[in-house]
C-alpha cells in the first residue's frame, strides 16, 4: 500500500511549568495575560482572533498539488456554537480552520474527536462559510499565528503537539483547558451532539454516490508489511479496512470515524487519499450507541 505523505506536528516542549474559562486581563493585577480569547459566537467582524476550539472533524494533512505547501481543514465547535446550540443551521455556523504551511511539521495530524486546539492570531474571514485561516509558511514574512493540541481525556494541561516549540503559557490557560475538558465530556455525552450527514451503515458501504463516511467498532488490528488491516463492524455488518501504518495509534475495541473510503475485493474497504480516520471518545454518546447496538444484535442472535 503506497503511503500518502504524512504530516505531524512538532513534539511539544514548554518554557513554563504551569499552564487560567476566559479570565479577563483586568482581573489579574500582575498583568501577566497577553492573549484575550474569543468564543465562536463573538466571531463576527473579519480580523485576527485567539480562541480555543473542540475538534469535531478533521481532514488528513496533505501536500497540495503544484504549490509545495501542506494543508488541513479542522471543523471546530465550542460552548457557544455546536449541534445543540445551532440544531437547524449547524453546518453554516461551524468554524472551518484552514492551516497551511510549506513545512510538514507545522500542520496538525489530529487523532481524536473531542481534542482541544488553541489558536493564536487566526484570521477570521466569513464568506459562504465561517472560515479561519492560519498561514504558517516561511514565505509569509510575518508568521504570527500558532496552534497547540491538547487531549481532552487526560489530566495533563500540556499540549501533545504544537506548531511552535516555544509556545506561550499563561495563568489563564489552565482554567481554559480544565473548563473545556469538563464541558466537552458533558456535551458529547448527550444524544445527537455529534452528527455527520454523510455517515452510513456498513451494510450500505457499496452504494453509489459521493464519498460516504462510517462509524465502526475495531474488533482486531493486524500489522502487515506496509499497512494496517483493521477488522471493523457495526450492528449491520463487518469487513476489513486497509489503511496506512501511521494510523497505528488506533487500538482494538476503539470506535472510529472513517472519512471517505473506496471499496475493493469482496466489499472490503481502503482509505481514500483524501480520507482520514479519527478515534471517537469513549465518553461520547456515539461510542456508547455503537456498543449498545452491537449488544442488541448479539442478544437477538442468541434468541
C-alpha dist (Å) from residue 17 to 13, 156, 159, 167, 191: 10, 11, 12, 12, 37
C-alpha cell of residue 14: 514548554
Q: Are strands 228-233 and 238-243 parallel, antiparallel or unpaired?
A: antiparallel
Domain positions in the chain are: 25-188, 202-302
3-state helix, strand, coil in the chain (%, to 5): 20, 35, 50
Per-residue model confidence (pLDDT) at position 86: 92
Please determine whether the domains at 25-188 and 202-302 fall in the same fold group of CATH.
Answer: yes
Residue 133: pLDDT over 60: yes
User: For 205-238, how does the pLDDT look when each residue is reduced to its tens digit (9 = 90+)?
Assistant: 988 666 789 999 999 999 998 999 999 999 999 9
pTM over cut 0.75: yes
- Rounded distance, CA 38 to CA 169, Å? 17
Per-residue model confidence (pLDDT) at position 19: 25
Q: Which CATH number fits domain 202-302: 3.40.50.150, 3.30.70.260, 3.30.420.40, 2.40.50.140?
A: 2.40.50.140
User: For 277-289, how does the pLDDT look when each residue is reduced to its tens digit (9 = 90+)?
Assistant: 999 999 999 999 9
Q: Which CATH number fits domain 25-188: 3.40.50.300, 2.60.120.10, 2.40.50.140, 2.40.50.150?
A: 2.40.50.140
DSSP-derived 3-state class of residue 74: strand
Lowest mean pLDDT among 128-132, 266-270, 293-297, 299-303: 299-303
Residue 190: pLDDT over 90: yes
160 or 67, greater pLDDT: 160
User: For 55-114, how does the pLDDT look when each residue is reduced to its tens digit (9 = 90+)?
Assistant: 999 999 998 887 788 999 999 999 999 999 999 889 999 999 999 998 888 999 999 999
Residue 202: pLDDT over 70: yes
Amino acid at each position: 500500500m503506497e503511503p500518502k505523505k504524512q504530516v505531524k506536528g512538532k513534539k511539544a516542549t514548554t518554557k513554563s511549568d504551569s499552564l487560567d474559562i476566559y479570565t479577563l486581563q483586568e482581573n489579574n493585577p500582575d498583568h501577566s495575560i497577553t492573549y484575550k480569547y474569543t468564543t465562536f459566537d463573538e466571531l463576527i467582524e473579519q480580523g485576527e482572533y485567539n480562541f480555543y476550539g473542540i475538534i469535531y472533524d478533521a481532514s488528513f494533512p496533505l501536500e497540495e498539488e503544484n504549490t509545495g505547501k501542506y494543508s488541513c481543514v479542522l471543523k471546530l465547535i465550542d460552548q457557544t456554537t455546536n449541534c445543540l446550540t445551532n440544531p437547524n443551521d449547524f453546518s453554516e455556523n461551524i468554524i472551518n480552520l484552514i492551516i497551511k504551511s510549506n513545512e510538514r511539521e507545522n500542520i496538525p495530524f489530529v487523532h481524536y474527536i473531542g481534542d482541544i486546539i488553541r489558536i493564536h492570531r487566526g484570521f477570521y474571514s466569513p464568506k459562504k462559510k465561517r472560515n479561519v485561516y492560519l498561514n504558517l509558511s516561511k514565505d509569509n514574512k510575518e508568521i504570527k499565528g500558532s496552534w497547540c493540541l491538547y487531549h481532552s481525556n487526560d489530566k495533563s494541561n500540556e499540549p501533545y503537539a504544537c506548531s511552535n516549540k516555544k509556545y506561550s503559557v499563561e495563568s489563564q490557560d489552565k482554567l481554559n483547558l480544565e473548563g473545556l475538558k469538563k464541558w466537552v465530556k458533558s456535551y458529547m455525552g448527550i444524544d445527537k451532539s455529534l452528527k455527520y450527514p454523510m455517515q452510513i451503515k456498513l451494510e450500505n458501504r457499496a452504494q453509489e454516490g459521493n464519498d460516504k463516511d462510517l462509524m465502526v467498532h475495531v474488533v482486531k488490528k493486524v500489522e502487515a508489511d506496509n499497512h494496517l488491516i483493521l477488522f471493523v463492524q457495526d450492528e449491520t455488518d463487518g469487513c476489513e479496512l486497509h489503511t496506512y501504518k501511521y494510523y497505528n495509534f488506533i487500538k482494538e475495541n476503539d470506535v472510529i470515524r472513517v472519512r471517505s473510503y473506496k471499496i475493493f475485493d469482496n466489499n472490503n474497504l481502503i482509505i481514500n487519499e483524501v480520507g482520514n480516520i479519527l478515534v471517537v471518545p469513549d465518553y461520547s454518546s456515539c461510542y456508547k450507541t455503537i456498543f449498545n447496538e452491537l449488544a442488541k444484535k448479539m442478544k437477538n442472535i442468541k434468541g
